[in-house]
Amino acid sequence: MITLYLVRHARSIGNATGRIQGWLDLPLDELGHRQAGLAAERLRYKPLAAIYASPLSRAAQTAQVIADACGLAVRLDERLREFHMGAWTGLTGEEIQAMMPLRWDQDPSDHIGPGGESGADMRVRVDSFLADMVARHENQMIAVVCHGGSLGGIVGAVLGLPPLRRHPFTFGNASITKLTYEHDHWRLRSLNDRCHLHSCQQ
C-alpha cells in the first residue's frame, strides 16, 4: 500500500489579499508560517519516506517546515505547480469579472482566462506524477505539498471525475487530504482535514 498525505500550502500573501496567484511566486504571510508549523506537527511522527512539493515559494516554504520536522529533504516537482492562470495572474476576482464577464451560457467550473491552463492540461501533469509515485514508493508514506488547483486535479483524477479546473470540493490552507493506493486502485481516505489548525486563528 502507498499512502499520500496531500497538503495545501499554508496562507500566502496572495491568499491574504484575495489575489489569483497561479504561477505568481508569493511567499507565506505570518499566519501562513504558523499554519505550516501546525501541519508539520501533525505529520512529524508519520514514517514519511519522502516529501514532494511544487517549486512555487508558498508550497516550497510549507514543505520545508514539514521536512525540517521530519528530518527529510524536499523534492521539488514542476508537475505540482498551480494552474497557470494566464492573463488572470495577480488579479482579484472582481478585476477578472470586470475584464471578461462570465456569460450565462458559460460553465464557471472550467472558465479559463487568456493564456491559462485547462483542466485537461492539469490532468496530464498529475497523472504522470501519480504514476511515478506508484512506481517509486511501494509500501511507503509520502507527503505532497502543492496548491488548491493541483490538489483538485489529483483528487479528481483518482476519483475518475472529468478533468475540470474547479471540482465540487475545496482545500483550505495547510489542510491535509489522505489517499491510499491498494490493489491497483487509489482510494480517498480523508478530504480537507484541518483539525490541526484549531489553535490557529483563520
pTM: 0.93
- For the stretch 104-154, pLDDT in tens is 455 555 678 888 999 999 999 999 999 999 999 999 999 999 999 999 999
Rg over alpha carbons for the chain, rounded to the nearest Å, is 16
CA distances from 86 to 18, 152, 174, 195 (A): 17, 19, 25, 34
| For the chain, domain boundaries | 2-100+116-197
Residue 108, pLDDT score: 52
| pLDDT band at residue 165 using 50, 70 and 90 as cut-offs | confident
CA-nearest of 165, 157, 164 to 181 is 157
CA-nearest of 192, 144, 197 to 172 is 192
Separation of first and last alpha carbons in the chain: 34
Q: Provide the β-strand partners of residue 176.
A: 7, 193
DSSP H/E element including 160:
none
Active site residues: 9, 82
Report the Cα 198 to chain-centroid distance in Å: 20
DSSP for 80-130 reads: GPPPP-GGGTT--HHHHHHHSPPPTTS-GGG---TTPPPHHHHHHHHHHHH
What is the fold of 2-100+116-197?
Rossmann fold (3.40.50)
